[in-house]
Chains A and B, each alone.
Chain A
Amino acid sequence: MSAKPKIRELLDESACTHNAARKSTCNAPIPGATTGGCAFEGAQISLFPYADAAHLVHGPITCLGASWETRETGTTHPGRDFTRMGFTTDISNRDVVFGGEEKLRLAIDYIVGRYRPQALFVYATCVTALIGDDIDAICRLAESEHGIPVVPVHAPGFVGSKNLGSRLGGEAVLKHLVGTREPEHTTDFDINLIGEYNVTGDMWQYAPLLEEVGIRVLSTLSGDGRIADIRTAHRAKLNVLVCAKSLISLTRKMQERYGIPFISLSFYGKRDTSDALLAIAEALGDAALIQRTRAVIRREELSLEEKLAPYREIFRGRKAVLNTGGNKTWSIASALQDLGIEVVATAVRKATEADREKAREYLGEKGVLMMNPGAEQARIIDETGADLLLAGGRSLYTAIKKRISFIDVNQEKKKSYGGYRGLLNLAEDVRNALENPVFRNVARRAPWEK
């Protein structure tokens, strides 16, 4: 039987609330009117943070050449850090004509021989899927020859969106890694962090607090992750899905297969972080643990409030417009509200149904959910008297024209806004933006303009 997961099945995720409303069209990008990454990128995002595994992209140079070392997914792995390396078969015309299997075999041998990774992920791409290279067979053979997991990832770009690709990455992990090893010991409070990629060290903002109250992160998919750990993930008591709806299929299947319950939460902002910590403790269901967690939350909130006090003075009465996508549409809104800033509008064009619901919840009835932010945001800034625009770089000019402050919140940000400490980073960035005269200064008319 093929190792390829059934894409239809993944698109029809029963644990997704919105699935009754939208069916097959979920997956069809419109020619000439499409932005956003492909399935391969999604798989890459969800698996590349494993720093002790090598990731071999079997395809032409576009797929890896333009995408390696693009995300800051930090690791504490002491050995060679594979998150900062790129491997690709860089197939040529000849491979397209005669097949790329031989090259792939040699490339796998090369990587294992020279770098000795804990596992190897092999990614199919559009071209190698189209020419029909049998990646499954090659991976099976390599696995038995080299004695490490060699995992085929079937997420060629043309099967769909980034979101679908993340699911396919999760499927590969579930099929080939989870349950292939027993942990040395278990505790009653073992959890898996699923969908936490530790971008800019987000996970490190809250993981020490989990440890402090006695919760052990058994494995992650895949922030600061280790292959040996994810192989034992089936022994966790709880799956914690962090800000990533795309991996809900994985957690649902792990519930069905191993009886592991899952909860979904976010660590952006004070309220969300506190809620998340408590939700994990409550889900684990131990009274003493819950008590310890409440105590830590109290302590952290108190210390945070103290540090935030000077910022709150500056932020009083300030209004912000947020133009981003995905879970950031509400998670950053929530964090801004925690700083005492009123979020008057947030863009929901690139958000799921569930994200939109949450955005409405956070912004309340008065808040504007922008479906066409490019056209709407300037008008909304005028109407609400907003002081701050948080968006991708393309919106900078809107801020300059409106003479208000701007913060770039694209995915390549280098600072973490996660957890309690991340909120201080956000506060500092917001203060710097509000105090910076540059947005007004660059808007000065030239001497030759009337």
Chain B
Amino acid sequence: MGEVRRRSPKPLQVNPIKLPQTMGAALAFLGIDRCMPLMHGAMGCASFTKVFLTRHFSEPIAIQTTAVTDITAILDGGDYSIVEAVANITKKVVPELIGLHTTGLTETKGDDIRGVASKVHLPLVHVNTPDYEGGLESGWALAVSALIEQLVEERTQLDQKKVVLLPHVGLTPIEVEKIKEFVARFGFDVHALPDLSTSLDGYLGEKQGALSSGGIAVEQIRKLGDAFLVLSVGASMKRCARALLEKNAGMKHHHFDHLNGLEATDALVGILLEEAPIPEPHPGIVRWRRRLQDAMLDCHFSIGQTRFLIAGEPDQIAGLCASLVEAGGKVRVAVATVDSPQLVGIRAEKVLVGDLEDAEDHRNEYDLIVSNAHGERLAHACGKGLVLRGFPDWEQVGSQLRNDVLYEGGTSFLVEAANAAERMRSK
């Protein structure tokens, strides 16, 4: 762990990788079944988000806007536009939940959404997510906290089989599914909040995405309070776990900064074996651990001679760095979108909050870039290798199928990184 720069010294972002809180919140609501994310802002805020996520996931994205105009921005305190928006939405569909989240515009004008929410006669969760604060991770986490605080019922009894998984925003649909299945193999019923694994992957529905489809049901969220075990993944999700523990004093909680690589997965397995009714892990898990060990050895020669730049959301890059470093990768620079307690733990020589211009300025220090699709121009211009991760990935199909976590995903990530490094060197 090296030098950490928690704030960019520049007055602007050049080629940003940072994404807004509002988008994080919208995405969290998309992991709830039959939910309508309602963004309280100008129509462009929702439109940009919708187009961005549609291209990334190649799935229809349900989202609506309160369509604040220059007139209502001055004259309306949110009462008109929010109540009117809900009325118009329910003319066509009846959502199980409205996920009301604010933007910089409506926070600047100071709307009291909690007050307005009481005037809506539908299940509604509200959260303040101005885009001039935080980023994708915090927006997602704030929405999840709001879902917990406003929906989960308090309980005193515990269901000894029930586990709640709180995944950070960077985990892909397939990763959430793999973690759920992994934990389930220890004899548990696992509920992910939110659950993108069933909503933004493999969608072939007839409806044109009027509401989110798949994801955790609102009724299931209400009853999460009797889970005996809470697993949070990613530093951004700690606050969500705290909110959930408020609902039942008997709950146990284990936190993981990430679940990438051998060490982190071993830690998860250790804890699950302590908590689980079964004495030893499923043979499939044992098999995948051996495969990861094998892949680490097979890949170490290539990865060990490669210098990496990793850019993205703090929770995701923390995991990717750990995975590469375990196999001998030299992570020279990690560029994070925003500040996070996670940064001090990231296994890179330099960790900075910044943008892709910063990445370009360090171009002599690395050979291979792990970043979102905006890194492509940089990789091309500077002759670097590229592994695409994070939001957005518009260049490749199947971003929702990319699995980097646990023994299995760690194996395929190392193989992909090693092959990309070799391709780069043979050029």
Contacts and interface: CB of A to CB of B under 8 A. Distances in A.
B23 A62 contact: yes
B20 A412 contact: no
Nearest to B54: A393
Contact of A91 (B14, B45, B132): B132
B133 A92 contact: yes
A68 interface: yes
A62 B394 CA distance: 18
A129 B68 CA distance: 14
A157 B44 contact: yes
Contacts of A32: 38, 64-67, 84-89
Contact of B19 (A34, A61, A87): A61
Contact of A130 (B20, B44, B109, B373): B109
Interface string B69-92: 110010000001110111111010
Contact of B12 (A34, A36, A87, A400): A87
Interface string A63-81: 1111111100000000000
Interface in B96-111: 103-105, 107-109
Contact of A157 (B12, B43, B84, B86): B43
A430 to B, nearest CB: 21
Given A65-B19, A393-B54, A96 B132 contact: yes
Contact of A65 (B10, B20, B88): B20
Given A37-B47, A159-B69, A31 B104 contact: no
A290 B153 CA distance: 78
Interface string B222-263: 000000000000000000000000000000000000000000
A69 B47 contact: no
B289 interface: no
B157 interface: no
Interface in B29-85: 38, 41-52, 54-55, 58, 60, 64-70, 73, 80-82, 84-85
Contact of A36 (B23, B47, B103, B205): B47
A95 interface: yes
Interface stretch (A106-114, A136-144, A235-243): A106-114
B16 interface: yes
A56 B16 CA distance: 12
A280 to B, nearest CB: 33
Q: How large is the interface on B (under 10, 10 to 19, 20 to 34, 35 or more residues)?
A: 35 or more
| Residue picked from A66, A89, A161, A394, most chain B C-beta under 10 Å | A66
Contacts of B89: 32-33
Interface string A379-415: 0000000000000011101001100000000001000
A85 B381 CA distance: 13
Contacts of B206: 397, 401
Given A66-B48, A160-B69, A96 B20 contact: no
B42 A89 contact: no
A107 B12 CA distance: 6
A92 B132 contact: yes
B131 interface: yes
B277 interface: no
A314 interface: no
A66 B45 CA distance: 9
B305 interface: no
Interface stretch (A38-46, A145-153, A207-215): A38-46
B68 A68 contact: no
A37 B44 CA distance: 5
Contacts of A63: 44, 48
A28 B46 CA distance: 16
B198 to A, nearest CB: 18
B130 A93 contact: yes
A158 B69 contact: yes
A192 interface: no
A131 B107 CA distance: 12
Given A61-B13, A395-B208, A30 B108 contact: no
Interface residues of A, number: 64
A56 B15 CA distance: 11
A399 B49 CA distance: 26
Contacts of A85: 14-15
B333 to A, nearest CB: 20
A156 to B, nearest CB: 7
Nearest to A109: B11
A177 B7 CA distance: 37
B133 A158 contact: no
A8 to B, nearest CB: 12
Given A33-B88, A34-B67, A65-B19, A107 B11 contact: yes
Interface string A151-181: 0000011111100000000000000000000
A354 B145 CA distance: 49
A86 interface: yes
B23 A66 contact: yes
Contact of B70 (A31, A90, A156): A156
B375 to A, nearest CB: 11
Given A37-B44, A89-B11, A159-B70, A59 B20 contact: no
Given A30-B88, A126-B41, A60 B65 contact: no
Nearest to B377: A84
A35 interface: yes
Given A30-B88, A158-B73, A393-B60, A66 B52 contact: yes
Contacts of B109: 130
B131 to A, nearest CB: 4
Given A41-B47, A62-B45, A159-B70, A126 B208 contact: no
A185 B45 CA distance: 45
Contacts of A29: 43, 65, 67, 69
A106 B109 CA distance: 26
Given A38-B42, A106-B12, A401-B206, 16 more contacts: A31-B66, A34-B64, A37-B51, A38-B47, A61-B132, A62-B22, A62-B23, A66-B48, A85-B14, A92-B132, A92-B133, A103-B11, A157-B43, A160-B69, A394-B208, A412-B55
